[in-house]
Structure 1
Amino acid sequence: MSSGFARALLLLLIATPALAMAKDPIVVAPGDGDFNVGVNDQFTGDTQSETDTGDTSSTPIVDLGDDIRDAFCGGTNYSAGCDPEPVEETPVAPVLTPGMITQAFQRVPLPATPLVIEPVDGVTLVNLATNFHTPAEPLSRTVTLLGRRIDLAITPFRWTWSFGDGSTVTTDTPGAPYPRLEVTHTYERAQQVRPTVATTYTATYRVDGGPAQPVPGSVTIASPPAALEVTTATTRLADPTR
């Protein structure tokens, strides 16, 4: 029993001796923020309650104050109008997730690498192996997520070539300038075509300079289309003396 509860009970017994000798039941009820005790009048024989008659003269009321309320409400029984103590929730700090890193990687502006075609004058011949290549340099980008520094190391690793005549090929090389013919295409008829190359990037990331970790997923960037005329060659005899 708490000291507050004992003190309130002692005050009740001293202030109202009739309560200790009453034959009728003691009624304990919650009031407006306090607990009140009502005892039926044992001398008049009137057993009507205050609720029935509206007369408070026959029902002595003793205000026990906050001590007994605190003692009663200190447990887990809130049926008498006790308000449970509010529970303070500890805020949870947001945590970086791989999904956040992937979204940041996908939103980083990456350059569209240009498509280089050889011959370089924008004209090639039917049945000639036309050479294609594109620059392929690693990139680095830095972003901030949830107040953390994220360093991205971005690497091109795959290329998809669209030659403009319906033919496509995917390689793990960006091609190379002549005479290294790594990515070539032979057109079978004269036409105007607009070939492109799409470069796919992967990345690793570091959080605040920590260890490198792979970024889930990849990003693909297509080059602007290049204009290429495919034509036929005409064989003519020439006088070497002229």
Structure 2
Amino acid sequence: MTVAARGAVLALLGGFVVLLPTPASAQCGVQSEVGEVVETCDYSSGGIEEEKIKYPTSKWSVRQICKDGKRNPEGICFNPEDCTTDAGNPGTRYTLFRDGENVGTACLSAGEEDLVDDPPPIRALVIEAFERLSWPASKLEVQPPGGKTLVNLESNFYTTNSAATSISVNLVESNVVVSARPIAYRWNFGDGTSEVTETPGAPYPSLDVSHVYDQTAKVAVSVDTQYGDASFTVNGGPPEAIPSTIWVTGAAQDLEVVEAVPQLVLR
């Protein structure tokens, strides 16, 4: 159904199109006069309970929505936005957070906000979110190329992933940018050995990261990346350090170790 300006709907009467007034929505919306457009909420108290069942390990919190944006140091609005719950009771509109991330709005009556906790300090939320963010895995390069190398020959390994990465995330109604860079690499050579370095390696003739296979085999090689030296900013403010680090597993790729076959060359 299309809602026209001033809340009227189209109807067919005697072959003519006429406008009929419609009542404003009362469920989980901002209280308004009849005929005004109502902004609805995403969740009621029952909807929050359903979400908590779907995400049993998540932490849930709400923050009151203010008509004028003014609130006291505890986050309570001086002039909160009113709404009507699904049960028809007067309520207040809140922003709902799952693990600190904004997932929508909710209309809750007095006491229903106790279903969730107050949002923790934003620094604690950033540190929790750091490990959930999608830090890029490093792409492994092997030389000789083509998926084959020679036994008893130095095989060269490297990756081009060495620059810092920044990821934006919305936490407690704030624009947070989290930055981190690769600080270490774990090279998995597929023969039961591995090596951790601070360097990403480099193309041949550099052999910063190399490995010698002592027998023929088919192995799966990969490189894992440790991100650290991390920091975050809130709404463009000064950066704050994050003490955490995280390892990101790299994709495995096949490598065949073969023997060199002597060939007679006529000159």
Higher helix share: 1
For 1:127, the aligned partner's letter is N
Q: Distance in 2 between matches of 1:176 and 1:239?
A: 36
Q: Which has the higher contact order (CA 8 A, sep 6+)?
A: 1
The alignment covers a number of residue pairs equal to 151
Paired residues of 2:226 and 2:247 also in contact (CA < 8 A)? yes
Match of 1:108 among 133, 144, 147: 133
Q: Percent identity?
A: 36
* 2:122–2:171 contact (8 Å) kept in structure 1: no
Deviation of 1:209 after TM superposition, in Å, equals 1.6
Q: CA RMSD in A?
A: 1.7
Task: Give distance in 2, aligned partners of 1:169 and 1:111.
Answer: 20
The residue aligned with 2:218 is 192
Query: 1:174 is matched with which residue?
Result: 200
Q: Contact conserved, 1:98 with 1:216, CA < 8 A, in 2?
A: no
Distance in 2 (CA, whole Å) between partners of 1:157 and 1:122 is 27
1:230 aligns with 257
Structure 1 residue 237 displacement after superposition:
2.9
How much does 1:235 deviate? Answer: 2.0
Partner of 1:139: 165
- Residue 181 of structure 1 aligns to a residue in which SS? coil
Query: Which amino acid letter does the alignment assign opposite residue 246 of structure 2?
Result: V
Q: What's the TM-score once normalised by structure 2's chain length?
A: 0.54
Confirm or deny: 8 A CA contact 1:133 1:175 kept in the other structure. Answer: yes
Structure 2 CA distance, aligned partners of 1:110 and 1:101?
14
With over 3 angstroms needed to count, the CA separation of the structure-2 counterparts of 1:97 and 1:111, relative to structure 1, is same
Residue 118, structure 1, aligned to residue 100, structure 2: no
Question: How far apart in 1 are the matches of 2:175 and 2:210?
Answer: 42
Q: Does 1:127 align with 2:152?
A: yes
Aligned ranges for residues 62-73 of structure 1 at < 5 Å?
Answer: none
**Which amino acid is 1:170 matched to?**
V
1:218 pairs with 2:240: no
Quick one: which amino acid aligns to residue 240 of structure 2? Answer: Q
Aligned equivalents of 1:91 and 1:139: distance in 2? 33
What is the CA distance between 1:125 and its match in structure 2? 0.3
CA distance in 2, matches of 1:138, 1:234: 44
Asked which structure has the greater CA Rg, the reply is 1
Q: Which runs of 5+ in 2 are unaligned?
A: 1-71, 76-118
Task: Tell me by how many angstroms 1:91 deviates.
Answer: 8.7
Contact 1:153–1:205, Cα closer than 8 Å, also in 2 = yes
C-alpha contact 2:122 2:172 (8 A) present in aligned 1: no
Letter in 2 for 1:141: I
Q: CA–CA distance in 2 between the matches of 1:236 and 1:148?
A: 67
Distance 2:120 2:250 in 1: 36
What CA deviation, in whole Å up to 9, does each residue of 1:168-212 have, x standing for no partner?
A: 100001111111111000000000000110001122101122221
TM-score normalised by length of structure 1 = 0.59
CA positional deviation for 1:164: 0.1
Contact 1:198–1:223 (Cα < 8 Å) also in 2 = yes
